[in-house]
Structure 1
């Protein structure tokens, strides 16, 4: 079955919805294809204790403030899911789900979007699939020999699943710190980081991080000295559960181990720790396999962009994958501006 639209947006999470908002305001004909069966994007799959870094009003998509969550300064993941579901309904965004995009191809003046339920012909495409669907696991010697359970951030849900077990959490970012704090009370926890853990000041939250990321982008665009951005402040936002576990002395990071064995891990100095489970909070990579037919990746696998637009395919925009597609574009508060730029760029292209 064949369909057509001026613009096809791939992904119905926060980035796809922000793109839809601005495409609607510009009067363009578009459709959003979402592989998920229900609204909420990756937030509906997050671990149970996950909370935002910022208050609701500072975690909003364009046009609609996120309402505060009763009893919570920092809303939880379920509140975000409800907000996103309300957002797409409020703006009557044309979302088709569940539709999985298999590939994007060139077809003369059109881009051909192949899906598991037919094909779409479009004048432009916005890829907004995020990173959650492509978890990254580092290659560590002995991984295949370990006899316990290994899982990534995307598979972790609640500490009750590990009660009484010896658990190693690997990762010095926000996910690693939050999951380690989650497990600190009910498990025999070892928290491992590649480098010494760096907590941001307790009064820094997502509002400040967005301002810092935006200031860095302005400096780079204007040829001024690189401010270092968020990385210059630290790696971990001290949200209340992390702060509580840290202040109780339960978040003391060990350096990265050398290898895994059947019963646990071994450090370079010969120290060993037994483990029943290892949680790899080791980040993500952009989920871009659907763009492979366009052959846009360079030698390092990176798609070159100017803002959100792919340099070698001006009909394609990439949105929400991180700073390389817009400052803080992988956040709720940050995705609005690059989404607006992408929509405007497509409108200019079409006219």
Structure 2
């Protein structure tokens, strides 16, 4: 659909899980937003990842509104199951997504927003931005990186684990992406496998004594952060024991605290066993590169064929809303969910904070709150 000069009630930017949830909740209260998605189809961000990728959150806490995963879906759905779930939801709810529409810039004048897109300008009273925290992969500018003759990729480009058989692989970063990759590579026949960790991670097992740990997250969400930090440390110790002699010490901050700061937890599914067995060697922070080697802060070095940078993502929101005075120094939004800034009434963000209950569960809570807030706002304008 071609944008018009008519003022829209509400626009949702992004048709990933958070955007679809926001659109669904808005429709539930009688608001039918336009939905812009820059990709050509739903689920493209998931399709771009390796086929073995799974949700780190349990299926029963990670389904879209009105529609559970089919019977027989594993507890932690794989990439293709997630994509199918998104497609089925869009079809079931007849979501009128406008594909191929990229929002380049948002401005405000007299309480009304102008969205500059690749297909023209759209005017709206309310905007829900659901473009995600993981829009732009980050690879640090390590000293000497440009001299390195090996291959350097971001975790987003991981591909098939089989591609790494016979290769010497260094994974940099011990967060969610780093451990996801290590979980897979630990099952492959790599020639050598290293993990470089700047800070000791908070690790959680997928199961303890047969119980899926994430199923307990809705309960943990009610407790103070410091208590959840302690619970996660205890869970990690029960599952893994003391990992200090293997190069993984006590985290500087707790897992729940790190979630609030935007860092997702590492989820183990075989990597810790490989670390204990010596298959994965843990090294400290990267210091520099030369043509063949990677050097570390403690003076050690390794000789990898491939370096996988699991060093996080940026939201890339500076380009879209950097002029609106709502981002912190790290480019993160000052608000999330139904929160508002006084100088930006009607502008909302969804899915911009990590949560103990998982992104999808959190987006459901935020989506309902945003829908109620926009309904109240529109009612006062009548």
Q: State the TM bucket, normalised to the shorter chain.
A: 0.7 to 0.9
Determine helix, strand or coil for the equivalent of 2:126.
Answer: strand
Paired position in structure 2 for 1:208? 216
The structural deviation recorded for 1:306 is: 6.4
Q: TM-score, normalised by structure 1?
A: 0.87
Paired position in structure 1 for 2:78? 76
Change (3 A) 1:196 1:59: same
Change (3 A) 1:30 1:329: farther
Aligned counterparts of 1:69 and 1:138: Cα–Cα separation in 2: 41
Aligned counterparts of 1:37 and 1:260: Cα–Cα separation in 2: 38
Aligned counterparts of 2:358 and 2:122: Cα–Cα separation in 1: 26
The structural deviation recorded for 1:321 is: 1.3
| Unmatched tracts of structure 2, length 5 or more | 233-252, 257-264
Paired position in structure 1 for 2:198? 194
Aligned counterparts of 1:174 and 1:300: Cα–Cα separation in 2: 19
Paired position in structure 2 for 1:332? 360
Counterpart contact for 1:42–1:132, Cα < 8 Å: no
Paired position in structure 1 for 2:16? 13
| Offset from partner CA, 1:119-147 (integer Å, 9 cap, x none) | 22111000000023212223322222212
The structural deviation recorded for 1:186 is: 2.6
Aligned counterparts of 1:319 and 1:287: Cα–Cα separation in 2: 15
Determine helix, strand or coil for the equivalent of 2:215.
Answer: helix
Aligned counterparts of 2:39 and 2:356: Cα–Cα separation in 1: 24
Equivalent residues, number: 339
The structural deviation recorded for 1:297 is: 2.9
Aligned counterparts, 1:1-351, within 5 A: 2-3=3-4, 4-70=7-73, 72-184=74-186, 185-187=188-190, 188-201=192-205, 202-203=207-208, 204-212=212-220, 214-216=221-223, 219=224, 227-228=228-229, 232=254, 235-239=265-269, 241-242=270-271, 245=274, 249-288=278-317, 289-298=319-328, 301-305=331-335, 307-311=337-341, 312-323=343-354, 327=355, 331-351=359-379
Aligned counterparts of 2:143 and 2:218: Cα–Cα separation in 1: 37
| Offset from partner CA, 1:231-279 (integer Å, 9 cap, x none) | 735942223x546645755344222232111102112343221111110
| Unmatched tracts of structure 1, length 5 or more | none
Aligned counterparts of 2:41 and 2:20: Cα–Cα separation in 1: 14
Change (3 A) 1:161 1:285: same
| Offset from partner CA, 1:40-84 (integer Å, 9 cap, x none) | 1522222221112244222112222222445x3321011001001
Q: RMSD over aligned Cα, in angstroms?
A: 2.6
Counterpart contact for 2:22–2:370, Cα < 8 Å: yes
Q: TM-score, normalised by structure 2?
A: 0.80
The range that moved more, 294-303 or 184-193, is 294-303
Determine helix, strand or coil for the equivalent of 2:372.
Answer: helix
